[in-house]
Protein backbone atom coordinates (compact mmCIF):
# COMPACT_ATOMS: atom_id res chain seq x y z
CA UNK A 1 0.00 0.00 0.00
CA UNK A 2 2.78 2.29 1.03
CA UNK A 3 4.51 1.41 -2.14
CA UNK A 4 1.45 2.14 -4.29
CA UNK A 5 0.92 5.50 -2.70
CA UNK A 6 4.48 6.42 -3.43
CA UNK A 7 4.13 5.30 -6.99
CA UNK A 8 0.92 7.29 -7.42
CA UNK A 9 2.53 10.32 -5.89
CA UNK A 10 5.50 9.89 -8.20
CA UNK A 11 3.22 9.47 -11.18
CA UNK A 12 1.28 12.52 -10.08
CA UNK A 13 4.48 14.53 -9.82
CA UNK A 14 5.62 13.32 -13.23
CA UNK A 15 2.26 14.24 -14.70
CA UNK A 16 2.39 17.58 -12.98
CA UNK A 17 5.89 18.30 -14.28
CA UNK A 18 4.88 17.23 -17.76
CA UNK A 19 1.77 19.39 -17.54
CA UNK A 20 3.72 22.40 -16.38
CA UNK A 21 6.38 21.95 -19.03
CA UNK A 22 3.70 21.56 -21.72
CA UNK A 23 1.94 24.65 -20.47
CA UNK A 24 5.17 26.61 -20.36
CA UNK A 25 5.94 25.29 -23.85
CA UNK A 26 2.58 26.53 -25.02
CA UNK A 27 3.18 29.80 -23.26
CA UNK A 28 6.63 30.20 -24.78
CA UNK A 29 5.28 29.34 -28.20
CA UNK A 30 2.60 31.96 -27.74
CA UNK A 31 5.18 34.51 -26.70
CA UNK A 32 7.36 33.63 -29.70
CA UNK A 33 4.48 33.97 -32.10
CA UNK A 34 3.52 37.27 -30.54
CA UNK A 35 7.08 38.46 -31.05
CA UNK A 36 7.10 37.26 -34.64
CA UNK A 37 3.77 38.98 -35.17
CA UNK A 38 5.10 42.25 -33.81
CA UNK A 39 8.26 41.94 -35.91
CA UNK A 40 6.11 41.28 -38.95
CA UNK A 41 4.03 44.33 -38.12
CA UNK A 42 7.21 46.40 -37.84
CA UNK A 43 8.38 45.08 -41.20
CA UNK A 44 4.97 45.87 -42.72
CA UNK A 45 5.18 49.39 -41.34
CA UNK A 46 8.68 49.71 -42.74
CA UNK A 47 7.45 48.45 -46.10
CA UNK A 48 4.55 50.88 -46.05
CA UNK A 49 6.97 53.67 -45.30
CA UNK A 50 9.23 52.60 -48.18
CA UNK A 51 6.17 52.42 -50.37
CA UNK A 52 5.26 55.93 -49.39
CA UNK A 53 8.82 57.15 -50.06
CA UNK A 54 8.69 55.47 -53.45
CA UNK A 55 5.37 57.15 -54.16
CA UNK A 56 6.79 60.52 -53.14
CA UNK A 57 9.81 60.01 -55.41
CA UNK A 58 7.56 59.01 -58.28
CA UNK A 59 5.24 61.93 -57.68
CA UNK A 60 8.27 64.26 -57.57
CA UNK A 61 9.55 62.76 -60.80
CA UNK A 62 6.18 63.15 -62.46
CA UNK A 63 5.97 66.69 -61.15
CA UNK A 64 9.48 67.51 -62.44
CA UNK A 65 8.60 66.14 -65.85
CA UNK A 66 5.39 68.10 -65.95
CA UNK A 67 7.25 71.25 -64.89
CA UNK A 68 9.85 70.65 -67.59
CA UNK A 69 7.13 70.23 -70.20
CA UNK A 70 5.35 73.36 -68.98
CA UNK A 71 8.60 75.35 -69.16
CA UNK A 72 9.31 74.11 -72.68
CA UNK A 73 5.80 75.06 -73.72
CA UNK A 74 6.17 78.49 -72.11
CA UNK A 75 9.47 79.00 -73.96
CA UNK A 76 7.87 78.00 -77.22
CA UNK A 77 4.99 80.41 -76.63
CA UNK A 78 7.45 83.19 -75.69
CA UNK A 79 9.53 82.55 -78.81
CA UNK A 80 6.41 82.56 -80.96
CA UNK A 81 5.31 85.81 -79.37
CA UNK A 82 8.76 87.33 -80.05
CA UNK A 83 8.73 86.13 -83.65
CA UNK A 84 5.27 87.59 -84.16
CA UNK A 85 6.36 90.89 -82.60
CA UNK A 86 9.46 91.03 -84.81
CA UNK A 87 7.37 90.27 -87.89
CA UNK A 88 4.88 92.97 -86.86
CA UNK A 89 7.78 95.42 -86.34
CA UNK A 90 9.16 94.63 -89.80
CA UNK A 91 5.72 95.11 -91.29
CA UNK A 92 5.18 98.37 -89.38
CA UNK A 93 8.61 99.64 -90.43
CA UNK A 94 7.86 98.83 -94.04
CA UNK A 95 4.66 100.84 -93.85
CA UNK A 96 6.17 103.60 -91.73
CA UNK A 97 9.31 104.21 -93.79
CA UNK A 98 8.16 107.37 -95.49
CA UNK A 99 8.38 108.11 -99.14
CA UNK A 100 10.17 111.42 -99.54
CA UNK A 101 7.63 114.13 -100.08
CA UNK A 102 8.14 116.54 -102.97
CA UNK A 103 9.08 119.17 -100.41
CA UNK A 104 11.59 116.85 -98.76
CA UNK A 105 13.40 116.04 -101.99
CA UNK A 106 13.13 119.43 -103.69
CA UNK A 107 16.55 121.05 -104.13
CA UNK A 108 17.29 124.10 -102.00
CA UNK A 109 20.36 126.12 -101.10
CA UNK A 110 21.19 123.61 -98.36
CA UNK A 111 20.36 120.26 -99.93
CA UNK A 112 23.86 119.17 -100.94
CA UNK A 113 24.58 116.29 -98.54
CA UNK A 114 28.36 116.45 -98.96
CA UNK A 115 28.58 120.10 -97.84
CA UNK A 116 28.89 121.25 -94.23
CA UNK A 117 25.95 123.64 -94.73
CA UNK A 118 23.49 120.87 -95.56
CA UNK A 119 20.16 121.05 -93.78
CA UNK A 120 18.52 117.82 -92.67
CA UNK A 121 15.32 118.06 -90.66
CA UNK A 122 11.76 116.71 -90.67
CA UNK A 123 10.95 118.83 -93.72
CA UNK A 124 14.18 118.18 -95.59
CA UNK A 125 15.38 114.62 -95.93
CA UNK A 126 18.93 113.81 -96.93
CA UNK A 127 19.39 113.41 -100.69
CA UNK A 128 19.64 110.74 -101.85
CA UNK A 129 17.78 109.08 -98.99
CA UNK A 130 20.45 106.42 -98.60
CA UNK A 131 23.37 108.89 -98.84
CA UNK A 132 26.67 107.68 -97.35
CA UNK A 133 29.25 110.35 -96.46
CA UNK A 134 33.02 109.92 -96.44
CA UNK A 135 33.66 109.21 -92.79
CA UNK A 136 36.66 108.67 -90.56
CA UNK A 137 36.78 106.73 -87.31
CA UNK A 138 38.45 109.11 -84.91
CA UNK A 139 39.09 109.05 -81.16
CA UNK A 140 37.95 111.87 -78.91
CA UNK A 141 40.73 112.64 -76.40
CA UNK A 142 39.92 110.71 -73.23
CA UNK A 143 36.42 109.83 -74.37
CA UNK A 144 36.13 107.00 -76.86
CA UNK A 145 35.57 106.90 -80.57
CA UNK A 146 33.37 108.62 -83.09
CA UNK A 147 32.72 108.25 -86.80
CA UNK A 148 32.48 111.69 -88.38
CA UNK A 149 32.48 113.13 -91.90
CA UNK A 150 36.04 113.73 -93.10
CA UNK A 151 35.20 117.46 -93.44
CA UNK A 152 34.55 117.65 -89.69
CA UNK A 153 37.44 115.51 -88.41
CA UNK A 154 39.99 118.24 -87.61
CA UNK A 155 37.59 120.45 -85.70
CA UNK A 156 36.13 117.41 -83.95
CA UNK A 157 39.61 116.55 -82.65
CA UNK A 158 40.24 120.20 -81.72
CA UNK A 159 36.99 120.29 -79.72
CA UNK A 160 37.86 117.05 -77.91
CA UNK A 161 41.41 118.21 -77.16
CA UNK A 162 40.22 121.55 -75.79
CA UNK A 163 37.64 119.83 -73.56
CA UNK A 164 40.27 117.46 -72.22
CA UNK A 165 42.67 120.34 -71.57
CA UNK A 166 39.88 122.13 -69.68
CA UNK A 167 39.49 119.07 -67.44
CA UNK A 168 36.14 118.00 -68.91
CA UNK A 169 36.94 115.18 -71.37
CA UNK A 170 33.95 114.43 -73.58
CA UNK A 171 32.42 111.00 -74.08
CA UNK A 172 30.63 109.93 -77.26
CA UNK A 173 27.17 108.35 -77.33
CA UNK A 174 26.51 108.41 -81.04
CA UNK A 175 27.97 109.93 -84.19
CA UNK A 176 27.51 108.89 -87.84
CA UNK A 177 24.53 106.58 -88.32
CA UNK A 178 23.82 104.95 -91.65
CA UNK A 179 20.44 104.87 -93.34
CA UNK A 180 20.19 101.16 -92.49
CA UNK A 181 20.96 101.81 -88.82
CA UNK A 182 18.23 104.43 -88.76
CA UNK A 183 15.80 101.94 -90.34
CA UNK A 184 16.46 99.57 -87.41
CA UNK A 185 16.39 102.30 -84.76
CA UNK A 186 13.19 103.83 -86.08
CA UNK A 187 11.38 100.52 -86.57
CA UNK A 188 12.38 99.55 -83.02
CA UNK A 189 10.57 102.62 -81.70
CA UNK A 190 7.61 102.04 -84.02
CA UNK A 191 7.33 98.49 -82.66
CA UNK A 192 7.54 99.81 -79.09
CA UNK A 193 4.75 102.35 -79.25
CA UNK A 194 3.56 103.08 -82.77
CA UNK A 195 4.64 105.64 -85.34
CA UNK A 196 3.42 108.76 -83.55
CA UNK A 197 5.48 107.86 -80.48
CA UNK A 198 8.46 106.83 -82.64
CA UNK A 199 8.42 110.25 -84.34
CA UNK A 200 8.93 111.91 -80.97
CA UNK A 201 12.08 109.93 -80.12
CA UNK A 202 13.66 108.99 -83.40
CA UNK A 203 14.14 110.41 -86.86
CA UNK A 204 12.68 108.54 -89.80
CA UNK A 205 15.31 106.90 -92.01
CA UNK A 206 16.75 109.55 -94.32
CA UNK A 207 15.67 112.35 -91.98
CA UNK A 208 18.38 112.04 -89.33
CA UNK A 209 21.14 114.61 -89.17
CA UNK A 210 23.40 111.80 -87.91
CA UNK A 211 23.38 110.38 -91.45
CA UNK A 212 25.42 113.38 -92.63
CA UNK A 213 28.38 112.47 -90.39
CA UNK A 214 28.26 116.06 -89.12
CA UNK A 215 26.40 115.32 -85.86
CA UNK A 216 27.74 113.91 -82.61
CA UNK A 217 25.95 113.10 -79.34
CA UNK A 218 28.31 113.80 -76.45
CA UNK A 219 28.29 112.47 -72.92
CA UNK A 220 30.05 113.03 -69.62
CA UNK A 221 31.84 109.80 -68.77
CA UNK A 222 29.18 107.12 -68.80
CA UNK A 223 26.25 109.50 -68.46
CA UNK A 224 23.26 108.68 -70.60
CA UNK A 225 21.82 111.31 -72.94
CA UNK A 226 19.28 112.60 -70.47
CA UNK A 227 21.75 112.92 -67.59
CA UNK A 228 24.17 115.02 -69.69
CA UNK A 229 22.38 118.28 -68.89
CA UNK A 230 23.99 120.11 -65.98
CA UNK A 231 27.29 118.21 -66.08
CA UNK A 232 30.59 120.12 -66.22
CA UNK A 233 31.06 118.71 -69.74
CA UNK A 234 27.67 119.99 -70.89
CA UNK A 235 28.26 123.46 -69.47
CA UNK A 236 31.68 123.62 -71.09
CA UNK A 237 30.61 122.41 -74.53
CA UNK A 238 27.50 124.64 -74.64
CA UNK A 239 29.80 127.63 -74.22
CA UNK A 240 32.87 126.54 -76.19
CA UNK A 241 31.69 124.32 -79.07
CA UNK A 242 31.14 127.23 -81.52
CA UNK A 243 34.83 128.17 -81.26
CA UNK A 244 35.57 124.87 -82.99
CA UNK A 245 32.72 125.09 -85.51
CA UNK A 246 30.09 123.07 -83.58
CA UNK A 247 26.69 124.28 -82.40
CA UNK A 248 23.99 122.80 -80.17
CA UNK A 249 21.43 121.88 -82.78
CA UNK A 250 18.22 121.52 -80.75
CA UNK A 251 17.50 124.07 -78.04
CA UNK A 252 14.52 124.50 -75.73
CA UNK A 253 13.58 127.87 -77.22
CA UNK A 254 13.40 126.54 -80.81
CA UNK A 255 11.55 123.21 -80.68
CA UNK A 256 8.81 124.43 -83.02
CA UNK A 257 11.17 125.30 -85.85
CA UNK A 258 13.69 122.47 -85.38
CA UNK A 259 10.93 119.89 -84.90
CA UNK A 260 12.81 118.33 -81.99
CA UNK A 261 12.79 118.64 -78.22
CA UNK A 262 15.89 120.21 -76.68
CA UNK A 263 18.94 117.94 -76.83
CA UNK A 264 21.82 119.30 -74.77
CA UNK A 265 24.08 116.52 -76.11
CA UNK A 266 23.52 116.81 -79.87
CA UNK A 267 26.06 119.00 -81.66
CA UNK A 268 26.28 119.77 -85.35
CA UNK A 269 29.36 120.82 -87.29
CA UNK A 270 28.93 123.80 -89.60
CA UNK A 271 32.52 125.17 -89.67
CA UNK A 272 34.19 127.82 -87.50
CA UNK A 273 33.21 130.90 -89.50
CA UNK A 274 29.57 129.84 -89.87
CA UNK A 275 29.42 128.94 -86.16
CA UNK A 276 30.76 132.39 -85.19
CA UNK A 277 28.19 134.08 -87.46
CA UNK A 278 25.46 131.78 -86.17
CA UNK A 279 26.12 132.77 -82.54
CA UNK A 280 26.43 136.47 -83.47
CA UNK A 281 23.10 136.33 -85.36
CA UNK A 282 21.20 135.01 -82.34
CA UNK A 283 19.14 132.89 -84.77
CA UNK A 284 18.91 129.97 -82.35
CA UNK A 285 18.24 127.44 -85.09
CA UNK A 286 19.86 126.49 -88.39
CA UNK A 287 16.43 126.76 -90.02
CA UNK A 288 16.17 130.41 -89.07
CA UNK A 289 19.89 131.08 -89.74
CA UNK A 290 19.75 129.65 -93.24
CA UNK A 291 16.14 130.56 -94.00
CA UNK A 292 14.84 127.07 -94.66
CA UNK A 293 11.59 125.49 -93.50
CA UNK A 294 11.45 123.31 -90.41
CA UNK A 295 9.04 121.94 -87.85
CA UNK A 296 7.25 118.61 -87.89
CA UNK A 297 6.97 116.16 -90.81
Reported as type and span, the H/E element at residue 103 is helix 102-105
Region from 40-48, 239-247, 260-268, 272-280 binding Zn ion, contact rule CB under 5 A:
260-268
Count of residues engaged in binding Zn ion, rule: CB under 5 A = 2
If binding is defined by CB under 5 A, does position 268 make contact with Zn ion?
no
* Cβ-based nearer residue to Zn ion, 204 or 266: 266
The distance of closest approach from Cβ of residue 74 to Zn ion in the complex, given in angstroms and rounded to an integer, is: 39
Stretch that binds Zn ion, among 70-78, 120-128, 155-163, 258-266 (CB under 5 A): 258-266
Is 249 among the residues that bind Zn ion (CB under 5 A)?
no
93/172 with CB nearer Zn ion:
172
| Least distance between Zn ion and beta carbon 63 (Å) | 54
Minimum Å gap between C-beta 270 and Zn ion is 15
Task: Write the DSSP assignment of 251-268 as a string of letters.
Answer: -GGGHHHHSS--EEEEEE
Dihedral sign from CA coordinates of 295, 260, 195, 108: positive
Among residues 39 and 145, whose Cβ is nearest to Zn ion?
145
Return the DSSP state at 123: S
Q: Are residues 266 and 235 in contact, defined by beta-carbon separation less than 8 angstroms? A: no
Q: Is 287 in the site for Zn ion (CB under 5 A)?
A: no
Q: Counting contacts by CB under 5 A, is residue 217 touching Zn ion?
A: yes
Closest to 205 (Cα-Cα) out of 86, 82, 107, 95: 95
Question: Does residue 229 sit in helix, strand or coil?
Answer: coil
Q: 33 or 184, CB closer to Zn ion?
A: 184
Q: What are phi and psi for residue 296, nearest 5 degrees?
A: -80, 175
Residue from 124, 204, 266, 268 that binds Zn ion (CB under 5 A)?
Answer: 266
E-only strand ranges, the chain: 135-139, 145-149, 171-174, 215-219, 246-250, 263-269
Residue 263 annotated in active site:
yes
Tell how far CA 117 is from the center of its chain. 37
Q: Which residues pair with 266 in a beta bridge?
A: 217
Q: Is residue 122 close enough to count as binding Zn ion by CB under 5 A?
A: no
Which CB atom, from 111 or from 215, has the smaller least distance to Zn ion? 215
Rounded to 10°, the helix 153-165/232-240 angle is 130
**Min dist. Cβ of residue 215 to Zn ion (A):** 5
| Surface-to-core class of residue 158, CB atoms within 10 Å of its CB (0-12 exposed, 13-18 middle, 19+ buried) | middle
Task: Report the nearest approach of Zn ion to the CB of residue 225 (Å).
Answer: 8
Give the range of 72-80, 115-123, 209-217, 273-281 binding Zn ion by CB under 5 A: 209-217
Stretch that binds Zn ion, among 4-12, 93-101, 194-202, 217-225 (CB under 5 A): 217-225
- Report angle CA 235, 238, 241 to the nearest 5 degrees: 125
Residues that bind Zn ion (CB under 5 A): 217, 266
Point out the residues that are catalytic. 263
Amino acid sequence: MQHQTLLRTALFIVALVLGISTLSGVFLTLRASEEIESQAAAKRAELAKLDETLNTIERQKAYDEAAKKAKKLANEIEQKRKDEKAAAAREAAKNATPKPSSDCSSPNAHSEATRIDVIVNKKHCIQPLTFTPNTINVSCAGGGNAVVASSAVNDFKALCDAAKAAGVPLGITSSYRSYQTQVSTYSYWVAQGGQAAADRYSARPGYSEHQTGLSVDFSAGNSGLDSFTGTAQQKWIAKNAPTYGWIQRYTAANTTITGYNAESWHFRYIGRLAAANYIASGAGSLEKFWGVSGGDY
